[in-house]
Amino acid sequence: MDYVALHARFRPDKLAISDLAHNRHWTYSQFDQSIARCVTILEAGGVGTGDRVACLSKNRAELIALHLACARMGAIFVPLNWRLSPAEIIQLIDDCMPTVLMGDSMAEGIGIDCQPIEELFERCNSSEPTFPPAVSADLPSLILYTSGTTGKPKGVMLSERNITETAINFSILGDVESQSGFLCESPMFHIVGLITSVRSPFLRGGHVVISDGFVPERTLSRLSAPDLKISHYFCVPQMALALRGEESFDPEKLRHLKAVFTGGAPHPEVQIREWLNDGIALVDGYGSSEAGTVFGMSLDRAIIDAKAGSVGVPTPRIGHRLVDNNGNIVPTGIEGELQLRGDNVTDGYWRRESDYQDFFTDDGWFHTGDILMIDEDGFYRVIDRKKDMYISGGENIYPAEIEALLVKFPGVREITVAGVPDKTWGDVGCIFYVTDSTTVTIEEFSDFLGGKLARYKLPRKVRKLEKIPRNSAGKILKHALKEMFIGERYEK
């Protein structure tokens, strides 16, 4: 399943990667050699089958090379979320126990002792390439950490078989071909950044253009640039809105794109149709770290218009069903939990086997925890999250992680966090609390949480209540809290 090696022989001089942040370019033949030299360096560092290679770095070509080198060796690459707080990053490092740890200046800035990632290719240039014997495609080659509902991160383990399924599924849904070019701005600690935006074009012999981050004016320039030949671009809805808000936004310069692909949060239908009216397909989809790309909309603008708000359809490679609370298949037009089965689904959670088993039904279907509905034409729509997670700016946020810290806030008798609607971020966290003392401001709560959580996880709103609503079993009714917020039936 090594498609870089395939294209290094099939189309050796074809452009594979452009790293815009560092002004570097590789053909398939050149990048194949770079991966092979990374294998040499990792083996010299004591990395073997099943060992972890972790990296804390913004997007750059070295992350792709390290992951593919691990895949060739049977080792496991672990890209670390640099948006987390130092304490959270150290927690991930302690959990994955890497044999080799690399990083850029961010790692040095928070005192993490690691090998400098910027020296990797220089070391490669003085190393001989190593081409190890092929390993099983069922060995894990990647761990992606995603926050858990208990606050403890889950390391989603993905094998090359899992990853290749995502590449195949998206290449079908996204009409990927050998001339496709992907602008990769999604961080490479996310599945969209490291897998969907990289493995899909590599599968077909296309090229990847690496950016170190989203800057709306710069992104528009890159999407428009004839020499970069971008055809595919992923973003969250807030990024798409920011692009349209830029003074330099000119739809005429973007009509060469196959589509702008969005996910990570619901996309308002009116915003989808604004893109369509400008002659640009804006395509929603659905996926996860555990299952990769699952659903995708058609690229046909008439179908997008008719089904605006839908996340599309799956490929025939994915087993999918919607069930009620008793496990019965729900009919068309009725909400149900999405369950999945297939080679795309993760093979496990790192060091959390019992948790992994809890995510499966007795007959082998994976619980997504998401509530969807299918219409009469077979198009799916996301209704809600089954659990309390909310999505803010494309990031999954779990209230339990925040609540575990807030229970120590002095003078508060009861406290909880729920996602509430926000025009800018989709949802934001709101702290609902009960106290006998004076009102607590959001700034005070933020100061208390500072350094303990990533900034994007910090709640942005606060409401003081006389009591927190609960059911007869004592469980907090978070939907009632959201209704309070929307209806403004709360004490300020």
Q: Model confidence over 178-217: pLDDT tens digits? A: 999 999 999 999 999 999 999 999 999 999 999 999 999 9
d(CA 449, CA 145): 21
Residue 247, exposed/middle/buried by CB under 10 A (0-12, 13-18, 19+)?
exposed
Q: Which residue has the higher pLDDT, 387 or 346?
A: 346
Residue 304, exposed/middle/buried by CB under 10 A (0-12, 13-18, 19+)?
buried
Q: In this predicted structure, what is the pLDDT of residue 147? A: 62
Residue in the structure block whose two tokens are 């469980």: 475
Angle of helix 442-449 relative to helix 399-406, nearest 10 degrees, comes to 90
- Kindly state the DSSP code that residue 313 receives in the 8-state scheme: B
pLDDT-derived band at 265 (thresholds 50, 70, 90) equals: confident
Q: In this predicted structure, what is the pLDDT of residue 338? A: 96
Q: In this predicted structure, what is the pLDDT of residue 253? A: 97
Q: Specify whether the CB–CB gap between 104 and 79 falls below 8 A.
A: no
Examine the pLDDT at 151 and tell me if it is beyond 60: no
Determine the average pLDDT of the residues in 361-389.
Answer: 88
d(CA 266, CA 274): 16
pLDDT-derived band at 145 (thresholds 50, 70, 90) equals: very high
Q: In this predicted structure, what is the pLDDT of residue 471? A: 61
Residue 147, token pair as written in the block = 């926050």
d(CA 198, CA 191): 10
Q: Specify whether the CB–CB gap between 38 and 71 falls below 8 A.
A: no
Comparing 133-142, 196-205, 266-275, 359-368, the range with the smallest average pLDDT is 266-275
Determine the average pLDDT of the residues in 297-307.
Answer: 97
Determine the average pLDDT of the residues in 11-33.
Answer: 97
Q: In this predicted structure, what is the pLDDT of residue 489? A: 45
Residue 354, exposed/middle/buried by CB under 10 A (0-12, 13-18, 19+)?
exposed
Determine the average pLDDT of the residues in 226-234.
Answer: 97
Determine the average pLDDT of the residues in 20-28.
Answer: 96
Q: Model confidence over 80-105: pLDDT tens digits? A: 999 888 988 999 999 999 999 999 99
Query: Within its chain, how far is the Cα of 6 from the centroid?
Result: 27
Q: In this predicted structure, what is the pLDDT of residue 245? A: 93
Q: Which residue has the higher pLDDT, 238 or 18?
A: 18
Model-level pTM?
Answer: 0.86
Q: Which of 266, 264, 296, 295 is nearest to 281 (CA)?
A: 296
Cα–Cα distance list, 256 to 35, 224, 225, 268 (Å): 32, 8, 10, 24
d(CA 344, CA 50): 20
d(CA 41, CA 240): 40
Determine the average pLDDT of the residues in 365-388.
Answer: 88
* Strand 24-27, strand 395-397: pairing: unpaired
In this prediction, what percent of the chain has a pLDDT beyond 90? 77
